[in-house]
Amino acid sequence: MDIKETGDRIIREFELLQDWQERYKYIIKLGTKLDPLPEEDRIDDNLVKGCQSQVWLTARMEEGKVTFKADSDAAITKGLVSLMIRFYSGREPDVILNTKPEFIEEIGMSSHLSPTRANGLASMIKQMKIYAMAFKSSETLS
């Protein structure tokens, strides 16, 4: 499934939910499905700067695609990072760098997040793009 299809699927999933209380519950549920982050990756170097909650994010390049893993100490934040992993993980660096997560606006999430959560989400996206840029640069140098 390409990144556009993934975004469209996320939009459809959120459209099935009646209100934002149900959507928050769904976001929290998504977070519970994240694979556990190994303890050795729960280090300060992997903390996303700009998040009020602790969010650890790692990235690896595998067969030309970036694979992200993450965890958080807050349920909603963990759900948000799981959405972003679903959207960006397994993509080529150029796709990550050139694709905005428009589904965030389309489902109305940006207007339903507190300012601190919205800043945290923006920081997660920024960090994912930084990783993609680093991998792209290292590919160019190889």
Helix (H, G, I), strand (E, B) or coil at 66: strand
Closest by Cα among 89, 24, 95 to 57: 89
- Is 51 designated active site? yes
The secondary structure of 5-47 as a DSSP string is HHHHHHHHHHHTS-SHHHHHHHHHHHHHTSPPPPGGG-SGGGB
Catalytic option among 51, 55, 83, 85: 51
The catalytic site residues sit at 51
